[in-house]
């Protein structure tokens, strides 16, 4: 959910055309930033939350949550987003190399990696999302006098439109290696749309490219409707994630990439919790149980 859902319902009642899901992730990143044992730093995150009146009561520090880390939303779920941010940060920085200098963020949402990561100086970061999301983000960053560390190219286009044309027009070169990220995006897409997106990334990439994305294994998400994190998200901030997610069967995108010659690996978030000694661990009726983080590299 770094990105924002393509569905129009994701925009209801939110200022500046920004999806509440993007602001939820921003609030989680703000909480993570202020932890004494933080896994990821995003000093801009809390400013996005405070700039949207619909989120005025949301916490940006764990001390602002009455039950602290015992809170399923602002404790466990926010820890999940903090861990995800760190793991994907690490993937991106590992994947840019001597030839891969183009980074494409699909459904970029309120992602600030162009501003906060130590990229090679000649990296170009393309941010694809709807115009309203990118405009809101730009306004907040402009008010903060924030400057990106590398060349940043916003690409204001809906992923249901001709985003490939918009991306190439913005300067993306498919003939050289690139690194792609779809963070928290695919959950919202129908199966065929996810498959088309993965196929398009394959078509736009050459050897030496890389892709990371988040997938769900379950084909019955409604079985987790009463899980603690989904219940808390509905009751505390009014976001019904299962109303936004596509509930149809999920494709095997990792398997599709493998069949196309990519090397892929699939991981549970809990693997990284154990590695970093911070983050969520499995629990009964766990909505995170089927989440997978997939890392793929395209060979020659």
**pLDDT single digits (tens) 55-79:** 989 999 999 999 999 999 999 999 9
CB 110 within 8 A of CB 26: yes
204 backbone dihedrals φ, ψ, rounded to 5°? -90, 5
The span from the CA of 73 to the CA of 11, in Å, is 20
C-alpha span between 116 and 149 (Å, rounded): 7
Structure tokens at 153: 């190219």
Instruction: Tell how strand 262-267 and strand 291-298 pair up.
Output: antiparallel
Rounded to 10 deg, the angle between the 228-237 and 20-33 helix axes is 110
The pTM of the full predicted model, rounded to 2 decimals, is 0.93
**Residue 261 confidence (pLDDT):** 96
Using CA atoms, how far residue 243 sits from 6, 99, 132, 189, 251, in Å, is: 13, 41, 22, 12, 19
Please give the chain's pLDDT, 300 residues, in tens.
455 443 332 333 334 335 889 999 999 999 999 999 999 999 999 999 999 988 989 999 999 999 999 999 999 999 999 999 999 999 999 999 888 999 999 999 999 999 999 999 999 999 999 999 999 999 999 999 999 999 999 999 999 899 999 999 999 999 999 999 999 999 999 999 999 999 999 999 999 999 999 998 877 788 889 999 999 999 999 999 999 999 888 999 999 999 999 999 999 999 999 999 999 999 999 999 999 999 999 997
**Which residues contact residue 252 at a Cβ distance below 8 angstroms, ignoring those fewer than 6 apart?**
none
Domain boundaries, the chain: 8-298
Task: Answer whether 271's CB lies under 8 Å from 254's CB.
Answer: no
DSSP per residue, the chain: --S--SSGGGGTT-GGG--HHHHHHHHHHHHHHTSTT-S---TTHHHHHHH-GGGTT--SSGGGSTTGGGSIIIIIIHHHHHHHHHHHHHHHHHH--SS--EEEEET-TT--HHHHS---TT-EEEEEE-HHHHHHHHHHHHHTT---SSEEEEEE--TTS-HHHHHHHTT--TTS-EEEEE-S-GGGS-HHHHHHHHHHHHHT--TT-EEEEEEE--S-GGGGTTSHHHHHHHHHH---HHHHS--SPPP-HHHHHHHTTEEEEEE-HHHHHHHHT-S----TT-TTTTEEEEEEEE--
CATH architecture of the domain with range 8-298? 3-Layer(aba) Sandwich (3.40)
């Amino acid at each position: 959910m770094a990105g924002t859902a393509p569905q129009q319902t994701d925009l209801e009642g939110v200022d500046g055309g920004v999806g509440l899901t993007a602001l939820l992730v921003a609030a989680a990143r703000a909480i993570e930033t202020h932890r004494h044992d933080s896994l990821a730093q995003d000093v801009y995150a809390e400013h996005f939350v405070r700039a949207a009146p619909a989120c005025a009561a949301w916490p940006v520090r764990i001390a602002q949550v009455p039950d602290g880390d015992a809170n399923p939303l602002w404790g466990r779920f926010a820890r999940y987003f903090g861990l995800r941010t760190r793991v994907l940060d690490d993937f991106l920085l590992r994947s840019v190399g001597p030839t891969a200098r183009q980074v494409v963020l699909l459904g970029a949402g309120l992602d600030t990696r162009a501003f906060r990561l130590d990229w090679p100086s000649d990296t170009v970061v393309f941010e694809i999302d709807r115009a309203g999301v990118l405009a809101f983000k730009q306004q907040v960053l402009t008010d903060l006098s924030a400057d990106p560390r590398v060349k940043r190219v916003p690409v204001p286009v809906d992923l249901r439109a001709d985003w490939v044309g918009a991306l190439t027009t913005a300067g993306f070169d498919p003939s050289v290696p690139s690194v792609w990220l779809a963070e928290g995006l695919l959950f919202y897409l129908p199966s065929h749309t996810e498959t088309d997106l993965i196929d398009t990334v394959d078509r736009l990439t050459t050897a030496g490219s890389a892709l990371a994305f988040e997938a769900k294994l379950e084909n019955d998400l409604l079985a987790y409707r009463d899980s603690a994190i989904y219940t808390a998200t509905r009751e505390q901030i009014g976001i019904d994630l299962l109303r936004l997610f596509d509930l149809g069967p999920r494709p095997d995108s990792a398997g599709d990439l493998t069949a196309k010659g990519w090397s892929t690996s699939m991981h549970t978030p809990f693997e990284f919790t154990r590695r970093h000694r911070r983050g969520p661990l499995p629990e009964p009726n766990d909505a995170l149980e089927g989440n997978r983080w997939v890392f793929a590299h395209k060979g020659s």
